[in-house]
Chains A and B, each alone.
Chain A
Amino acid sequence: MNNYNLNKGLFNNIEISDEMKEELFENCKNGKRTADVRFKHAGALTALLIAALVGGTGVGATAYYQSVMKRMESMPQEEVKEYVQDINNDFSVTISGSWSRQLTNDESLRLAELERKYYGENLFPEQEVQHVKTLSEWDGKSVCYVEEDNLLHLPDAEMSNDQLLMFIDYSAKKDYVIEKEAEKIEPEEEVASPYVDVEDISEDELIERGREYLVKFLGKDLGNEWHARVEAFKPSESDPSVGLTHDSYTIYWEQEGATPNSTDYVVGFGMHKLDFRFVAVRGREHWATLKSYTKEEALKKGESDEAKVFKQLHEMFGLPEEPDVVKKVEAYQDYSEGDDCRQIRYIFKYGDNPVDILWDLADEKLASVEICGNMDLGYELGDFDE
């Protein structure tokens, strides 16, 4: 043990609440995965792969994909070293935590648009992000990595499209280097990938089944511009007692040229019973279209919107008119901090089943619905019951 004056006592008052313990148990027992709805973020390589997979123009999309890959792979060694150095020294390993400020709404929307052009049409910046050693060398107007504080400094004024492109290029290359570096790390033990092939049902049938829920959620069909793909997640390694709850299919709908920040839609099913798990709209692009409230305003509106949320859940998913318990109402801050709140998270209980909701405050629409446990939704969708 270390003879040192930092000790466990410093953390004495940091304690998990009984309520959180109970929530953890309920969620884990019911196989609720945070990763599928709230965790997932595509890195540059994944974005490229998606762009190639869902690119409607076939050969064209593949060519763009190859061109971006070539751009990444042909980075001079010095540049790669610089990125590795940045990654090692970054003030934070969070994505936005290593920027000097949050993106504005307008920047977020233009970012999503320009990212599509970057990945999908090979619109690249003419210049690279500048690197300087000290903050005093930065002019305050450019996008610049400063070694002194290990932050990517963004100009105080809104970034121009050219600057956003430099920012996208920097982020994409950094993600690429991170993923390449990660490949070099020898895993301590071989862990089989939990992603498997779709079995027992065809991908087309799954997509159709998911589409029915998505139409209920959105009140309309997305149409042909949105491309669906399926991921099968099976972590239970054939253990049927766990497999019943944890293994899942996730169906993603993305537009041509989807990027890490674009809007997408997801629907999830349990793998074995094909029971509905969740539906959601996600992405920085979607978030940027939402009106901002202070935390106090958001919570107040969240409470007064409860009846509307119950009604939509009842009408869309056939849940009872009201839950038995409202377990949690909290401001949910995707991509923002402080008094910039746009969504409310509710956790309701219908009988023993927790239902986790994200609610877009200004639009008064459901942004995500996640149902845990085996809930009888009171209606049949499709003909897939086993």
Chain B
Amino acid sequence: MNQEERNKDLEQVIEKYSNALYKICFMILKNEQDTNDVLQETFITYMTKKPDFKSEEHKKAWLIKVSQNKCKEFLRFHKKHAGVPLEEVEERFEITNGMNVEDREKLRLIWNLNYKLKSVVILYYIEGYSVKETAEILRISEGAVKKRLQRARESLAHLGKAFEGGIVCEQL
């Protein structure tokens, strides 16, 4: 692949997957600047490593995996920007526009979960990955995923008591 083809490929990959990665990383990092940095590092890794993918699903999972590694590394060693409260983000990015009260509350609860719980909730419940796939993406054991999902359910149920019905989670 020459430079021109490589750039074309990069442009297509960014067009196709940057939105999905942005949603996940923005929820994790709670900050636009950091999200941008992590996405940049992720696509640079894509450009420089560029493994062979079996399918588009494989490519997407690989990109999520790299971005989650970057998020983790970033949060642990490099983070400079504080997470922004959801209220501030709501105003600026209108991320809860058109949502009913219940969904807005759910988003707020997920927003405020800590990284370890939030990452499994997003991948398992929102992105629909299985426990095994979630474990592979986050490079943790399946047992750890189940344990974190359990803690997340407890946490969401506890925090969600404030509105009618709480948050009901399907048991594994």
Q: A residues near B, CB below 8 A?
A: 1-11, 13-16, 20-21, 23-25, 27-29, 31-35, 38-41, 43, 88, 90-97, 150, 178, 185, 188, 235-237, 239, 241-242, 244, 246, 330, 332-338
> A277 to B103, alpha carbons, bound, how many Å?
45
Q: B residues near A, CB below 8 A?
A: 1-3, 6-7, 10-11, 14-15, 18-19, 22-23, 26-27, 33, 36-37, 39-41, 43-45, 47-49, 72, 74-83, 93-99, 103, 106-107, 110, 114-116, 121, 124-128, 136, 139, 167-170
| Across-interface contacts of A241 in B (CB, < 8 A) | 1-3, 6
| Given A13-B95, A14-B23: A43 in contact with B77 (beta carbons within 8 A) | yes
| Across-interface contacts of A188 in B (CB, < 8 A) | 136, 139
For B104, give the chain A residue with the smallest CB separation: A10
8 Å CB contact of A35 from B41, B139, B168: B41
Grouping DSSP codes into helix (H, G, I), strand (E, B) and loop, the B interface class, with mixed when no group exceeds half, is helix
| Across-interface contacts of B128 in A (CB, < 8 A) | 1-2, 8
Smallest CB separation, A124 vs chain B (Å)? 23
> A91 to B18, alpha carbons, bound, how many Å?
28
> A43 to B78, alpha carbons, bound, how many Å?
10
> A31 to B103, alpha carbons, bound, how many Å?
40
Q: Are A39 and B47 in contact (CB under 8 A)?
A: no
Q: Are B124 and A2 in contact (CB under 8 A)?
A: yes
8 Å CB contact of B43 from A24, A91, A330: A24
> A20 to B41, alpha carbons, bound, how many Å?
14
> A377 to B104, alpha carbons, bound, how many Å?
51
8 Å CB contact of A8 from B82, B126, B139: B126
8 Å CB contact of B18 from A5, A16, A40, A97: A16
| Across-interface contacts of A338 in B (CB, < 8 A) | 82
Q: Are B95 and A41 in contact (CB under 8 A)?
A: no
| Across-interface contacts of A242 in B (CB, < 8 A) | 6, 47-48
| Given A3-B170, A10-B103, A21-B15: A27 in contact with B116 (beta carbons within 8 A) | no
Q: Are A34 and B41 in contact (CB under 8 A)?
A: yes
Q: Are A10 and B106 in contact (CB under 8 A)?
A: yes
Q: Are B40 and A96 in contact (CB under 8 A)?
A: no
> A111 to B118, alpha carbons, bound, how many Å?
32
Q: Are A20 and B36 in contact (CB under 8 A)?
A: yes
8 Å CB contact of B168 from A5, A15, A39: A5
> A332 to B34, alpha carbons, bound, how many Å?
11
> A95 to B128, alpha carbons, bound, how many Å?
30
> A375 to B94, alpha carbons, bound, how many Å?
38
8 Å CB contact of B22 from A15, A90, A335: A15
Q: Are A92 and B75 in contact (CB under 8 A)?
A: yes
Q: Are A16 and B76 in contact (CB under 8 A)?
A: no
Q: Are B76 and A93 in contact (CB under 8 A)?
A: yes
